[in-house]
Amino acid sequence: MGGMQETSGAQAHVMVPRMTPRVVSPAVKELLRRADAELAAAAAADDPGDRFVHGHLAAIRSAAAVVALRGRPTRRSGARTVWEMLAHVEPDLAAWSGYFASGARLRAAVDAGRSGEVEPARADELVACAEDFRDEVAMLVDPDAGFSRQPRLALVPAAS
């Protein structure tokens, strides 16, 4: 990333890479912040439909951050949804695109007032996937930054 910096020791000169911080655009940072806010809302929601919607919105914000980072594909690419654009600009994330795109109809049902269609296990799965996707996007955006969100830790009683 950065240049090489020469350090001197008692016996030899060693070239050590100098790390240059990666510049992340304000738009990308804002999209990731909004994804985090949606994940927090999902964690606080009791209703499975609400958890599902917030998790899905978190994934959309994360995908939009990648599209903002990589640049929108041209109109000729045929990509119209954020999921299509994500698969086009970052093919390594295409599996995520397919997974989250498959939840769009269920999210639309919840948005239309039919939140009872979301099973609790499906909502929990989507939120967990949205968290994993958000973390993967964060590492793509700035691999040197680490995770911006602290993982949720399950407390396990110690064995007696």
pLDDT, greater one: 153 or 108:
108
Query: Looking at the domain assignment, is residue 61 inside a domain?
Result: yes
CA within 13 Å, CB half, 158: 1
Q: What is the per-residue pLDDT across 87-118, written as a single tens digit (0 to 9) for each? A: 999 999 999 999 999 999 999 999 999 988 99
- pLDDT value of position 15: 54
13, 109, 2: which is closest to 56 by C-alpha? 109
pTM: 0.76
- pLDDT value of position 14: 55
- pLDDT value of position 87: 92
Query: Looking at the domain assignment, is residue 147 inside a domain?
Result: no
Burial of 19 (0-12, 13-18, 19+ CB in 10 A): exposed
Query: Looking at the domain assignment, is residue 18 inside a domain?
Result: no
Cα(155)–Cα(152) distance, rounded to whole angstroms?
Answer: 10
16 has pLDDT over 80: no
Query: Looking at the domain assignment, is residue 67 inside a domain?
Result: yes
Query: Looking at the domain assignment, is residue 6 inside a domain?
Result: no
Query: Looking at the domain assignment, is residue 150 inside a domain?
Result: no
Give 154's pLDDT tier (boundaries 50, 70, 90): very low
Query: Looking at the domain assignment, is residue 10 inside a domain?
Result: no
Query: Looking at the domain assignment, is residue 45 inside a domain?
Result: yes
Q: What is the per-residue pLDDT across 28-64, written as a single tens digit (0 to 9) for each? A: 999 999 999 999 999 999 999 999 999 999 999 999 9
Residue position matching structure tokens 């890479």: 17
Among the residue ranges 13-22, 89-98, 99-108, 123-132, the one predicted with the least confidence is 13-22
Range of the domain at 120: 26-141
- pLDDT value of position 72: 83
Structural domains counted in the chain: 1
